[in-house]
Structure 1
Amino acid sequence: MIKVENLSRKFNSTIVLENINFLIEKGELAVIYGRNGAGKTTLIKCLAGFIKVNNGAINLVPNDKKKIGLYLGHEVLIDKLTVKEYIFLAGKLKALTNNVIESKITEFSQTLDFAIHLNKLISEISFGTKSKILLAISILNDPQILIMDEPFIGLDLITIQEVVKILSNLKEKGCTLFISSNQVDILENFTDKILILKNQTIVLEKKIKDLDITSINQLSDLVLTYLE
């Protein structure tokens, strides 16, 4: 579960987020939409604990970092490590055993198609491959809460399909997912709730089943109407 109440955040005198309220129940997948610069990444970082809020409260259940996955997509990686070494380090920081880490590396390097890069230095791989590495790390611990900021940027269509399968499987296991995106069509088949961030606050929070729409085109039109 993710519950946010009256959250506000400003940088100096600039208000970035104001009076943010929403609730994502256990096992729900929620997608938040907003224009570039709307504050989606700041909100994600607040949820992750990277940025302190000025007002309000964030309640994550379970509130245990070992059970939470996080994907930011723009993290600075350690160039001098190989891909395998980097994932292994991330696994140890999540308190996973060596056997579990090895198993996950084998699984995700095949599923996300980066097995041929495992022994390359981080400095030698492409932006898209780095995105795959960060995606693998975010789900390494079979999280009960997964928070993601624009997870599909830089990925090819085949990888996007695999990531969607992974997210769907996590959701079926009861994982709560909160994802920022500007790509309406990718997650439409199993999104439970949408949120729209505009003018520093949430202007729409609705379950998909409560929206008067029957197609992805209608959902896109709805999102665009609120963002204009």
Structure 2
Amino acid sequence: MYYYDHFYYQNEIPADNKFYVLDSKQGDVNGDGILDDVFLIGTRPYGTESPFRDNITLVIQDGKKGRYIRVRLESNAGYNPTIFLGDFTGDKVDDILISIDSGGSGAIGYYYVYSALNNQPKKIFDYEKFNEEYKYEVNYRNNYKVEVVSKNLNKRYIIDIRYKGKEYLSEIYDANGKLKEPIKGDVMALSGLYPIDFERDGTYELYAIQRIIGRYNADGLGYVQTSLKWNGSRFIPFSQNVAIFG
């Protein structure tokens, strides 16, 4: 078991003074051609038997000079924190994708992408900004349909929900397929963010997944899947679709 007692912030020392290495990867993240060490460290406030992690911090060790750089994460508590290294911007230098499960019933996650070019960490993707930007309307329609409208992309999707079964449908529709009353659903916050090299050119894109729900959180209707690529200053969508459960 590895832990570090010199990575904490002043006035934020955990009770046992131990920051554990939660995940680590090697890659050239500063662009000097030498492998750097990239860590996620954090505390285990409920002991080693609990999967919950707190005070999760990104630490980069310059492979040439050995100097440590710490990056404080805004959402720094959760489950299964992991690192992926890959080039998302096309500069042939590894960027850092951080994923943390919230552990809540909504199955949402916390996701960041950092560039550390020239040892200057810069956040280039923030899940909270994504959630704020990508807004939707979900409305049940007559004839066993649900309409999903992607506001910022001005797209409209129709889901046929007859696969949900007679018992489910009878609660919502009359015998003629007409809604008994207006019903709204929702699209949840980001629940998955995956690196995929769609063009097989060595530069990764981001594949974002959001759950579509009906009358309540467990009433899953499908997923909104949005593919994003770097345009030189930010990640922009180049494809979006809706998928239903098979």
Q: Considering fraction of residues, name the structure with more helix.
A: 1
Select the structure with the greater relative contact order (CA < 8 A; seq sep ≥ 6): 1
TM-score (norm 2): 0.23
Larger radius of gyration: 2
